[in-house]
Chains A and B, each alone.
Chain A
Amino acid sequence: MAGDFLYQALIYLAAAVVCVPVAKKVGMSSVLGYLLAGILIGPYLLGLIGGEGQDIMHFAEFGVVMMLFLIGLELEPAHFWKMRRAIVGLGTLQAGLTAGLLFALGMAFGLPWATALAVALALTMSSTAIVLQSLKEKGQMQTAAGQASFAVLLFQDILVIPVLAILPLLAPALATDTDSESHSLLQDLPAWLQTLAVIGSVTVIYVSGRYLIVPLLRIVAKTRLRELFTASALLVVISVTWLMEMVGLSPALGAFLAGVVLANSEYRHELESDLVPFKGLLLGLFFLGVGASINFKLILDIPGLVLGLVAGIMAVKALVLLLCGRVTKLGVDQNLLFALGMSQVGEFAFVLLSFSGQLRLTDGPTTDLLMAVTALSMTISPVLILINEKYIDPYFGIRQKIEEKSADEIGEKHPVILAGFGHFGSTIGRLLRANGVEATILDFDSDRVELLRKMGFNVYYGDATRLDLLKAAGADEAKMLIAAIDSPDTNFELIRTAQKHFPHLHIMARARNRFDAYELIDLGLKDIYRETLYTAVHLAVDVLQNLGFRAYTATRQGQNFIQHDETALRKLAVQRHDIKQYILSVREQIEHQEQLLQTDLHENLSETDHSWDGEYLREIIGKKTK
């Protein structure tokens, strides 16, 4: 048994480790890599695993739950509340239209109406796992399309619950509810009690999130045992999942709510970093399962029907989504991203279809066929996203920019964008302002933003690495971007985003130290300002003066040193890549210092400077006349 488990783990992990990097290298998302890996090891290609793909998927759906918990963590309750209209409005529109159209099509194909409805509802669902994973991976969560996708997906998650309740009603006498998917405790209770239980459990999540989980985490954090904190994080997610399944709600939705409740707690980032690897692995496993469960035998038997169904269903879904996008006034490129990204049939379809099968709403072959269609559409979807991104989006992206310009909107947009208004950025902003240059400021600290707004600064609150925020700040028209964010990693991300989407921007970047500067040089930046350089040189200049050096000489030596150091920086930045082996980083730093000191020796600054040197002239003239 243990051997069997090890063997399976070996197969799955090896498949993932081999396929995902290859997929990434070719420019595909990791989702596609996992799916292909699943197909590869599945029963129809290498046959390394049998028909257990479905079981694996079932287990791995927990990854989806975790993903929603993490998404909830990143969402502030206030922001979530703001989205409520989009969730209900856009969600209803998409679900209603898609289900309606698919139902009509089903009827047209001669399905009984109950079957047609069950199938239509199942196929309406999009894949939360695929869509959100790709959006996050590409940093598109905060774009208009990302937000719309998220709203629709959330609505679908909610929709699963009533659909699961309705399906048994569609199958009157045939239903043998012994083997139903959801072993809900409340199934036999009257409707009003069920409603009460649902409301009750949501309240439980809210109250326990506030008054039970946070104090608990506080105690756990005090033990300073990292693995115990990880265990607590897992415990939170699993208990929410369990509670939701007990009352027959969607675990994903419950986890999402729990995440939102904990988003304001001080443990938000710890929870996030502890759960991210689990989420990633489980989601990967889930995609592997999807890939492995595609029934290629069935597809090869009736390829025309399968492919036709996939194409037809995805086309209907995409068209409805395009219409929804239109209604919410998405731009052309955003709308395409939204529609193509969400056009697949999602993992909830597996649940709903197998449930319908048990209820005899759909017969065996139909269920198998639709399962295959679902899995296939999930596989195709990342490819569609890729095609859109590579070939279609660039075309529309450009066209839209031209349209926007001709619209001639004059906002309060300044030529300079200043990202980060901490101690570093604020000095820049103040100096600029003292000279009548107003910059558009992006900052992440809400208190500071409020103060700055009061002072009449043009400030945008938010993560400066977000594309839509940069757009809102006028990055399209701005001339310069000052990247002065405290966290170097965020700063790099901002620079990469800006370089990719606003190549015209002149980027001037803050670097914490020499090593940050190397990264920036690698990014192709020219204007790099090391915060440790100028202050340290200034101090050293003052030391020289206090030791009796002439002020002007010391100042010039400081200026020369900066120049010399900049040259050395650029030289060593190139050499750095030659060193293949990275030893301990401390050791490396010492070696680096040594290299620096060596170059200093070669170029003794004071010995080569003979400007205004009366004694030097005297020596030369004296030699000549002798």
Chain B
Amino acid sequence: MTRKHNILILFAHPRFERSRANARLVRHIPKSGHITFHDLYERYPDFNVNPAYEKDLLARHDIIVWHHPFYWYGAPPLLKQWIDVTLEFGWAYGPGGTALKDKIFFNTITSGGPRESYSREGHHQFTVQDFLTPFRRTATLCHAVYWPPFAVHGTHRLDEAGLQEQALQYQGLLERLLAGDFDPETPQQYPYLNDWFNQTKP
């Protein structure tokens, strides 16, 4: 695993100019010819997603990140629109649909509530992984590998230092993925990519 990976960040934020956490996360995305930052709301303010263009982008990348704030236990509507329009039958899934085979998908999310609230006993009664089931199934249906999410929880209370720490982790994660310095199977054993990154630091 020494080959450079190409990373596609599908960023979906309807009100990015009023965001604090995501602004910092996005600022820490490494500048690299191998990372494509694709700002969906900027590109498709009219929701008219261009599937040919999107499919071409997907084909040219190995790791796809659905990066979005965690609204109402899911993603902002344009990301769903993107999935509906782009992942075509016979291309992404179904007979002959192997274009995404063995690619890696994961979500990067930000949530106002703390990590503890997303548990069986917590306020939201389900884990983030539970809520992300549709994304996991989508990736699995497309014969791709689905990893647990990179999550920044508790953004409502997070101070500057805490936020900076999270942003640096995101930067480190992406740099590691870029370098191809990982085994695609191991992250799946952790509830969060944050944990995998922190616990397997070289």
**Real complex partners, A and B?**
yes
Q: Say whether chain A's binding surface is mostly helix, strand, loop, or mixed.
A: helix
Which residue of A is nearest B157, CB measured? A621
Is the beta-carbon distance between B20 and A551 smaller than 8 angstroms? Answer: no
Interface string of A346-378 (1 = CB under 8 A from B): 000000000000000000000000000000000
Which residue of A is nearest B71, CB measured? A612
Tell me how far the C-beta of B22 lies from the nearest C-beta in chain A, rounded to whole angstroms. 8
Cα distance, A556 to B47, chains bound together (Å) = 12
Is the beta-carbon distance between A550 and B71 smaller than 8 angstroms? Answer: no
| B15 contact from A553, A554, A621, Cβ within 8 A | A553
Is the beta-carbon distance between A612 and B112 smaller than 8 angstroms? Answer: no
Inter-chain contacts of A535 with B (CB < 8 A): none
Interface residues of B in 19-78 (CB under 8 A from A): 19-22, 41-43, 45-46, 69, 71, 76, 78
Inter-chain contacts of B46 with A (CB < 8 A): 555
**In which size bucket is the chain B interface?**
20 to 34
Is the beta-carbon distance between A615 and B43 smaller than 8 angstroms? Answer: no
Interface residues of A in 590-626 (CB under 8 A from B): 611-618, 621
For A551, A616, A617, A621, the residue with the greatest tally of chain B CB atoms inside 10 Å of its CB is A551
- The yes or no answer to B172 lying at the interface (CB within 8 A) is no
| A555 contact from B19, B21, B45, B76, Cβ within 8 A | B45
- The yes or no answer to A552 lying at the interface (CB within 8 A) is yes
Known contacts being A551-B42, A551-B45, is A615 close to B19, with CB within 8 Å?
yes
| B42 contact from A550, A615, A618, Cβ within 8 A | A550
- The yes or no answer to B18 lying at the interface (CB within 8 A) is yes
Interface residues of A in 124-143 (CB under 8 A from B): none
Is the beta-carbon distance between B69 and A612 smaller than 8 angstroms? Answer: yes
Is the beta-carbon distance between B45 and A614 smaller than 8 angstroms? Answer: no
Is the beta-carbon distance between A553 and B43 smaller than 8 angstroms? Answer: no
Is the beta-carbon distance between A614 and B41 smaller than 8 angstroms? Answer: no
Cα distance, A613 to B46, chains bound together (Å) = 19
Cα distance, A63 to B39, chains bound together (Å) = 74
Interface string of B85-123 (1 = CB under 8 A from A): 000000000000000000000000000100000000000
| B17 contact from A550, A611, A618, Cβ within 8 A | A550
Cα distance, A618 to B23, chains bound together (Å) = 15
Tell me how far the C-beta of B170 lies from the nearest C-beta in chain A, rounded to whole angstroms. 17
Which residue of A is nearest B46, CB measured? A555
- The yes or no answer to B14 lying at the interface (CB within 8 A) is yes
Inter-chain contacts of A614 with B (CB < 8 A): 15, 18-22, 69, 112, 155
Inter-chain contacts of B131 with A (CB < 8 A): none
Which residue of B is nearest A612, CB measured? B15
Interface string of A533-564 (1 = CB under 8 A from B): 00000000000000001111111100000000
- The yes or no answer to B153 lying at the interface (CB within 8 A) is no
- The yes or no answer to B136 lying at the interface (CB within 8 A) is no
Inter-chain contacts of B17 with A (CB < 8 A): 549-550, 553
Is the beta-carbon distance between A550 and B16 smaller than 8 angstroms? Answer: yes
Interface string of A151-172 (1 = CB under 8 A from B): 0000000000000000000000
Known contacts being A552-B14, A612-B15, A614-B69, is A621 close to B45, with CB within 8 Å?
no
Cα distance, A372 to B193, chains bound together (Å) = 108
| B18 contact from A551, A556, A613, A621, Cβ within 8 A | A613
Cα distance, A611 to B76, chains bound together (Å) = 11
Tell me how far the C-beta of B21 lies from the nearest C-beta in chain A, rounded to whole angstroms. 7
| B41 contact from A551, A611, A615, Cβ within 8 A | A551
Is the beta-carbon distance between B41 and A552 smaller than 8 angstroms? Answer: yes
Is the beta-carbon distance between B15 and A617 smaller than 8 angstroms? Answer: no
Known contacts being A552-B41, A554-B45, is A611 close to B14, with CB within 8 Å?
yes
Inter-chain contacts of B18 with A (CB < 8 A): 612-616
For A612, A614, A617, the residue with the greatest tally of chain B CB atoms inside 10 Å of its CB is A614
Cα distance, A551 to B45, chains bound together (Å) = 6
Is the beta-carbon distance between A617 and B112 smaller than 8 angstroms? Answer: yes
Tell me how far the C-beta of A607 lies from the nearest C-beta in chain B, rounded to whole angstroms. 12
Which residue of B is nearest A609, CB measured? B15
Inter-chain contacts of A615 with B (CB < 8 A): 18-20
Is the beta-carbon distance between B156 and A617 smaller than 8 angstroms? Answer: yes
Inter-chain contacts of A618 with B (CB < 8 A): 20, 155-156
Tell me how far the C-beta of B23 lies from the nearest C-beta in chain A, rounded to whole angstroms. 9
Tell me how far the C-beta of A620 lies from the nearest C-beta in chain B, rounded to whole angstroms. 9
| A612 contact from B13, B43, B45, Cβ within 8 A | B13
Cα distance, A552 to B21, chains bound together (Å) = 19
Tell me how far the C-beta of B37 lies from the nearest C-beta in chain A, rounded to whole angstroms. 15
Which residue of A is nearest B17, CB measured? A550
Cα distance, A549 to B71, chains bound together (Å) = 22
Tell me how far the C-beta of A10 lies from the nearest C-beta in chain B, rounded to whole angstroms. 68
Cα distance, A174 to B120, chains bound together (Å) = 125
For A552, A554, A611, A613, the residue with the greatest tally of chain B CB atoms inside 10 Å of its CB is A552
Cα distance, A556 to B69, chains bound together (Å) = 19
Which residue of A is nearest B41, CB measured? A552
Inter-chain contacts of B14 with A (CB < 8 A): 552, 611-612
Cα distance, A614 to B22, chains bound together (Å) = 10
Tell me how far the C-beta of B114 lies from the nearest C-beta in chain A, rounded to whole angstroms. 12
Inter-chain contacts of A549 with B (CB < 8 A): 17
Inter-chain contacts of B45 with A (CB < 8 A): 551-552, 554-556
Inter-chain contacts of A554 with B (CB < 8 A): 45
For B20, B45, B46, the residue with the greatest tally of chain A CB atoms inside 10 Å of its CB is B45
Tell me how far the C-beta of B46 lies from the nearest C-beta in chain A, rounded to whole angstroms. 6
Inter-chain contacts of B156 with A (CB < 8 A): 617-618, 621
Cα distance, A618 to B113, chains bound together (Å) = 11
Which residue of B is nearest A620, CB measured? B156
Interface residues of A in 224-276 (CB under 8 A from B): none
Inter-chain contacts of A553 with B (CB < 8 A): 15, 17
Which residue of B is nearest A555, CB measured? B45
Is the beta-carbon distance between B42 and A552 smaller than 8 angstroms? Answer: yes
Tell me how far the C-beta of A560 lies from the nearest C-beta in chain B, rounded to whole angstroms. 13
Inter-chain contacts of B19 with A (CB < 8 A): 614-615
Cα distance, A616 to B17, chains bound together (Å) = 12
Cα distance, A81 to B13, chains bound together (Å) = 70
Inter-chain contacts of B112 with A (CB < 8 A): 614, 617, 621
Cα distance, A152 to B156, chains bound together (Å) = 88
Inter-chain contacts of A613 with B (CB < 8 A): 15, 18
Interface string of B1-23 (1 = CB under 8 A from A): 00000000000011111111110
Tell me how far the C-beta of B123 lies from the nearest C-beta in chain A, rounded to whole angstroms. 14
With A551-B45, A614-B15 already in contact, 17 other A-B pairs whose C-beta atoms are closer than 8 Å = A550-B41, A550-B42, A551-B42, A552-B41, A552-B42, A553-B17, A612-B15, A612-B18, A613-B18, A614-B18, A614-B22, A616-B18, A617-B112, A617-B156, A618-B20, A618-B156, A621-B156
A: which residues have CB within 8 A of B? 549-556, 611-618, 621
Can you give 30 contacting A-B residue pairs, CB < 8 Å?
Answer: A550-B16, A550-B17, A550-B41, A551-B43, A551-B45, A552-B42, A553-B15, A554-B45, A555-B45, A556-B45, A612-B13, A612-B14, A612-B18, A612-B69, A612-B71, A612-B76, A613-B15, A613-B18, A614-B18, A614-B19, A614-B21, A614-B69, A614-B112, A615-B19, A617-B112, A617-B156, A618-B20, A618-B155, A618-B156, A621-B112
The 4 A-B residue pairs with the shortest CB-CB distance in the complex, in nearest-first order = A612-B15, A555-B45, A551-B45, A552-B41
